[in-house]
């Protein structure tokens, strides 16, 4: 309640403070670095699935194997852009990570 009393007794003080905030906001906004879209050097795509009622073996048979065959492509056409595929299947959870090539794509360095 004390701030209300000060604002009523000294209105010019709060007007000056409000003007300072308005005037300094653009300066602070422009000087503050933003990382909303940071530079990411590693092109990585992650997919995670949860499927209740399946153990690890059933999850690999029903989801993991067809998914990996689709990602790798029928004729190996995706091998030139994919660097690595990481798979992890645990109780009712499947996680897939694809790391893509950056720069020079050398298919002899492919890690499947």
- 99 and 57 in a single domain? The answer is yes
- 23 and 50 in a single domain? The answer is no
**pLDDT: which is higher, 93 or 76:** 93
Residue 55, in any domain of the structure: yes
Which structural domain range is residue 90 located in?
44-103
Q: Which has the minimum average pLDDT: 4-8, 58-62, 69-73, 95-99?
A: 69-73
Confidence band, pLDDT 50/70/90 cuts, at residue 61: confident
Please count the structural domains in the chain. 2
Residue 70, in any domain of the structure: yes
Residue 112, in any domain of the structure: no
pLDDT of residue 22: 94
At residue 60, does pLDDT exceed 50? yes
Residue 53, in any domain of the structure: yes
- 27 and 50 in a single domain? The answer is no
Q: How many CB atoms lie within 10 A of CB 63?
A: 16
Residue 63, in any domain of the structure: yes
Which two tokens mark 27?
């300066």
Q: Which residues contact 52 (CB under 8 A, 6 or more apart)?
A: 92
Confidence band, pLDDT 50/70/90 cuts, at residue 19: very high
């Amino acid at each position: 309640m004390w701030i209300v009393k000060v604002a009523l007794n000294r209105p010019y003080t709060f007007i000056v403070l409000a003007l300072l905030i308005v005037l300094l906001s653009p300066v602070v906004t422009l000087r503050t670095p933003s990382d909303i879209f940071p530079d990411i050097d590693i092109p990585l795509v992650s997919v995670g699935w949860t499927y209740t009622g399946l153990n690890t073996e059933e999850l690999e048979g029903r989801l993991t194997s067809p998914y990996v065959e689709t990602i790798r492509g029928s004729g190996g056409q995706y091998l030139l852009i994919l660097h690595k595929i990481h798979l992890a299947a645990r109780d009712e959870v499947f996680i897939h990570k694809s790391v893509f090539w950056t720069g020079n794509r050398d298919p002899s360095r492919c890690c499947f």
